[in-house]
Amino acid sequence: MSFRPAPLLTLLAVALTAGSAWAAEPPGPPTADLSVEASRSTPNDLFRAEVYAEATDASPGELARRVNLTVTQAIQTARAYPAVKLRSAGNATYPVYGKTGKSIDAWRMRSTLALESGDSAVLSELLGKLQQSMAVTGLNASPSPATLKKSTDEAIVEALGAFEARARLVAGTLGKKWKIRQVSVHTGGIQPKPMIAYARAAPMMSADGAPPAPIEAGDSPVTVNVSGQIELLE
C-alpha cells in the first residue's frame, strides 16, 4: 500500500475554507463584569473556653495522681451545669531538666478540658468555680451553626438582589437588555472573637464568692460576595 500525499492546492483549499468559516462566526454580545457585597451583623451566641490543671513533681506517679484529682473534681463540678458541654482536650507530660540540662529533676503534667455553651452567664459562673483550682487558657465567642447559616442565607439573598440591581442599572444606562452569563457566590468564614486569652490569670470569681462579671459576646460580621458577568442585548 503506497502513501500518496494530498496535492498542495487541496490543502490550501481546506485551510481557506476553514478560515472562512471561522471568520464568518458572528461576534458574541458585549459583556459587563459585576461584583457586589452584602454584610450582616451576626450575634455571637456560642461560647468556648479551655481550662487546664498543671503541676510539677519528681514522682511521675504522684504527679499524675495530683493532676487527675484536680481534673476529676472539675468534671464533677461541671456536671451540675447541663447547659455546658465538657470534653477532654488532651494531656501532656514533659521532663524538667536540671541546671546542666542533662539530668531530669522532675516532671510537669498538664491536662486540659474544653467547655462549650450557648449560655454565657452559666459558662461564666462555671469558669469562676473551676478557676479556683485550674487556669483558663482562652475564651472566645462565635455564632452558632444555626445562627451563622441564617445570617449567611440572608446575606446571599441580599447580595444576589444587589447584583440584579447593578445589572439592571448598567444595562439600562446603556439602553440594553441583559441576561446573566455566569455568577459566583463567595461566603467568608468567621473567626471566633477572643474574649480573654491568658495562661495564668486572676480568678473570674472574687475572693468573697461574688459571681463573675457577665460576658459581653458582641457580634461578628458575615460577608457574602457575588461576582459574575452579564450579556448586554439589543
pLDDT digit string, tens, across residues 2-45: 545 545 444 444 444 555 545 556 778 899 999 999 999 999 99
Query: Average pLDDT, stretch 61-88?
Result: 95
Q: Which of these, 140, 155, 156, 154, lies nearest to 45 by C-alpha position?
A: 140
pLDDT value of position 202: 42
Name residues whose C-beta falls within 8 Å of residue 194's C-beta, 6 or more positions apart in sequence.
138, 139, 140
Q: CA 229, CA 110: separation in Å to the nearest integer?
A: 55
| Percentage of residues in the chain having pLDDT higher than 70 | 80
Does residue 73 contact residue 84 with C-beta atoms inside 8 Å? Answer: no
**pTM for this entry:** 0.74
pLDDT at 105 over 60: yes
Name residues whose C-beta falls within 8 Å of residue 148's C-beta, 6 or more positions apart in sequence.
42, 142, 190, 222
Residue-wise burial string across 166-186, b where 16 or more C-beta atoms lie within 10 A, e elsewhere = bbeebbeeeebebeeeeeeee
What SS3 class is residue 82?
Answer: coil
pLDDT value of position 101: 77
Give the chain's domains with CATH numbers.
46-142+192-215 (3.30.70)
pLDDT at 209 over 80: no
pLDDT value of position 212: 59
Query: Average pLDDT, stretch 134-143?
Result: 90
Q: How confident is the model at residue 154 (pLDDT cuts 50, 70, 90)?
A: very high
Q: How confident is the model at residue 210 (pLDDT cuts 50, 70, 90)?
A: very low
pLDDT value of position 205: 47
160-170: per-residue pLDDT in tens?
999 999 999 99
